[in-house]
Structure 1
């Protein structure tokens, strides 16, 4: 097997276990399908090109998400600069099990997520949607354990307060897809 094929196979071996986690993170940070796909693909391309810089395979997840965070931030700066972002283009993954009411609630949640600071939104998306541990978020955000926990707590409280202002309390239930996620109720 020649060198380029070996590099490709090695990269695919490293990417395969984390690619779904990466996609969930990107689509929930950006939510516009085309933008999410662009950032996802750009991340994979850059990670492949810089694979030689990876010193330890165990750090591949951090390597990959570090690249992703930089690209997401660049994208958001461009969006703010050109004021292109429009909520009518919001990307919500089609799910046949989600009824119209749940889709509406999800749209409200996404709008509220946009009101959080970037670090709060990153932390809540990484923890609650992508299934990262606090330790993993701590390493990705270069912050202390307590800073990440505080950020998550503040973000949850802001979301809970904002949602209770928008929706009657008995309707505030955020369903999560990973086992380590908690259900937020009012």
Structure 2
């Protein structure tokens, strides 16, 4: 998993409350367990019409927001069914941080397991960031070490994050990577157990 330390990127304003996981990545894109390629399905029904043509009024189809790495979103982002494909699709599209007043719990937890930073800020601060993002091609800075989001105007807002989750994101550790950090201790335990309880070892 790629470490998250600091992100300097354009931010796209997605001013929609209660954006659920089926809107983030519709069910027809859930047939794969591969993470690559899911970006094409991100917000598919919002981005494209029935003929598959881009909808010109959707923010991610606006050339000013091409390559946006941050989403400034509405309240209760990621609600609905549990699907890990939602953070996968965001990451594959190039989004590494979502800022919103609140997130659905399961989506919020899935983000940390995949290297996507969900930042919860008070609604008035999100609204201020949204206003600056609507200005177009401007760079926002998300600094995990200092726990701040800085807008193009220089306005900075501090966010809270669990220290353990912060440490894992800074180091790029998912659940497997975190476990592997304890590999030497696990090997020592297994060796001692084999010596003290050899009857538990599988037959050669």
TM-score between both structures, scaled by the size of structure 2? 0.27
* Higher fraction of helix: 1
* Higher fraction of strand: 2
Greater RCO (Cα-Cα under 8 Å, separation 6 or more): 2
